[in-house]
Amino acid sequence: MAKDNADYQIGLLNDVTRLEVENAQLREQLAEVRESEDALKQDAVDKDWRIHEPKEAQGRIEKGIVESMLLGTELGITRADLRIANERIAELEGHLVNMMGLWESEDMDSVVYLVVKDCLLWPVGLTKTYFDKEKDEIVDEVADPREFVIAPGYDDIWKTPWCGEKLRKPLSWVKMNYPDKYKEVKTDNEKKPDEHGEKSFMELENENVTV
């Protein structure tokens, strides 16, 4: 449905926005870690042999080296997080490009217009999305609300176990697919189901039933 496509697109946009914010935060953390690492390295150099107490100087240098190593580990983790965030952003942007291309190729602006129009005339506006084997592509079309049916006993589309469109089929199709039940089916022109009796497939081809 058009609503599902729009919700999916909005969700992708929200994901990209959120990851871009996280990406910016990671870059700030990366800069802070680098700045701290440089400061510790410089502090270790400044406190080398210039301090009169060699043991104290050595202790400070070793402490600075340990802190520098810890910061280096944090720097590596931050870089990894940043790379993952960048990859995720690129993936989501790719999805968005595909969605926008599909939106334009299926002329979804016109489809949405017709669906909204149906909503004003009927209780609901609907689309059907499927893969057309002959065209070898995804097709999105407006479904006729007058031909739309849901499972008996349900009046909520979102809660019904199944829904679909009414179609006219030759009675021969019913006999071929449901040989045990076709005699119970009443055609559009019949008053009683048993009028078609033992007719041949050719005779049944000219009689239609709404399924």
CA distance 5 to 8: 5
What is the distance, to the nearest Å, from the Cα of residue 141 to the centroid of all Cα atoms in its chain? 19
Phi-psi region of 194 (alpha: psi -120 to 50; beta: other; left: phi over 0): alpha
What average pLDDT score do residues 134-146 get? 81
Mean pLDDT of the chain: 69
Query: Token pair of 151, please?
Result: 């499972």
Residue matched to tokens 């045990």: 180
What average pLDDT score do residues 60-67 get? 55
Q: Taking the model in full, what pTM does it have?
A: 0.39
Residues 150-172: pLDDT tens digits?
Answer: 888 888 888 888 888 887 777 77
Phi, psi of 19 (to 5 degrees): -70, -30
CA distance 60 to 54: 10
Most confident of 4-13, 83-92, 195-204: 83-92
Query: Token pair of 132, please?
Result: 């057309």
In percent, the amount of the chain with pLDDT more than 70 equals: 39
Residues 99-119: pLDDT tens digits?
Answer: 666 667 677 788 888 888 888
